[in-house]
Amino acid sequence: MNKNSKKAYVYKGFERFWHWNQALLIFLLAITGFEIHSSYHLLGYETAVDLHNKAAWAFIILIIFAIFWHFTTGEWKQYIPTTENLRAQAEFYLFGIFRNAPHPTKKTVISKLNPLQRLVYLGLKVLIIPVMVVSGLLYMFYRYPQDGGIEFITIDNLEIIALIHTFGAFILMAFVIVHLYLITTGHTITSNLKAMITGWEELDADENEAEKKDNEDAKM
């Protein structure tokens, strides 16, 4: 450990549980979803559809719990967008990271995301994932229930919904690929990964002290 850093408990238990299960479900949805679109043959069409639908419901349940957790713990504030250091952060990812330039923003327990991450994660949570869920449910419940003759949702042409759902899937896959790369850009190649497994991460000592002071002030 660097002498100018201290370990802090950054990621809480549910946060890690939610992160890893979300990642697992996104991968499962992608694998089965692209097979449903006949991109390859791995599990078989019927099995892929069944797993895709079950993973979708699990994902929706996880989203509900995550929303509840974010609002009851105040963690939703992590995603409030800011323009401070936004340009510097973008330049760091584009150029500075390859020159070993210092990171323009510092992580703390009360500010885990840099300005660019806030924008991207907020976009995923309020735009991409809701669109994926809504379009997926529309596709799932098209002419539902089919065997009873009652049409709960009647859509003559599902092509546009399928295109929107697939486009959202490509965006999510692009995000996952970039995310996998960026987790290697911490203090060490594996430090960010370890932090999301254990919850503990090395933060600059002065920031830990400042954070401790803020917490003490809040209790007074």
More confident residue, 87 or 158: 87
159 band by pLDDT with thresholds 50, 70 and 90: confident
Q: What percent of the chain has pLDDT over 90?
A: 60
CA angle in degrees (0–180, nearest 5) for 130-54-19: 55
Q: Residue by residue, what is the 3-state secondary structure of 159-206?
A: HHHHHHHHHHHHHHHHHHHHHHHHCCCCCCCCHHHHHHHHCEEEEEHH
Q: What percent of the chain has pLDDT over 70?
A: 84
pLDDT tens digits along 163-208: 899 999 999 999 999 999 889 888 788 989 999 999 999 887 654 4
Element (H, E) at 111: none
With a CB cutoff of 8 Å and minimum separation 6, the contacts of 64 are none
Q: What is the pLDDT of residue 76?
A: 94
Query: How far is it, in rounded angstroms, from Cα 134 to Cα 120?
Result: 20
Residue 59 has pLDDT above 80, yes or no: yes
Classify 150 in phi/psi space as left (phi over 0), alpha (psi -120 to 50) or beta: beta
Domain membership of residue 137 as a residue range? 5-219
Query: How far is it, in rounded angstroms, from Cα 201 to Cα 203?
Result: 6
Q: What is the pLDDT of residue 188?
A: 83
pLDDT tens digits along 93-116: 889 888 888 888 888 888 999 999
Residue 22 has pLDDT above 80, yes or no: yes
Residue 211 has pLDDT above 80, yes or no: no
Read off the pLDDT of each residue in 11-35 and give the average, rounded to a whole number: 96
pLDDT tens digits along 27-43: 999 999 999 888 889 99
Read off the pLDDT of each residue in 140-166 and give the average, rounded to a whole number: 68
Residue 127 has pLDDT above 70, yes or no: yes
CA angle in degrees (0–180, nearest 5) for 45-18-68: 110
Considering only CA atoms, which of 191, 174, 171, 172 is closest in space to residue 183?
A: 191
Burial of 116 (0-12, 13-18, 19+ CB in 10 A): buried
Structure-derived torsion over alpha carbons of residues 110, 15, 197, 96, reported in degrees to the nearest 10 = -50
Q: What is the pLDDT of residue 209?
A: 47
Q: Where are the alpha helices (DSSP H) in 45-85?
A: 45-73
Amino acid at 88: A
CA angle in degrees (0–180, nearest 5) for 133-43-147: 60
Domain CATH code at residue 24: 1.20.950.20
Enter the pTM of the model.
0.83
| Number of domains the chain is built from | 1
As beta bridge partners, residue 9 has 200
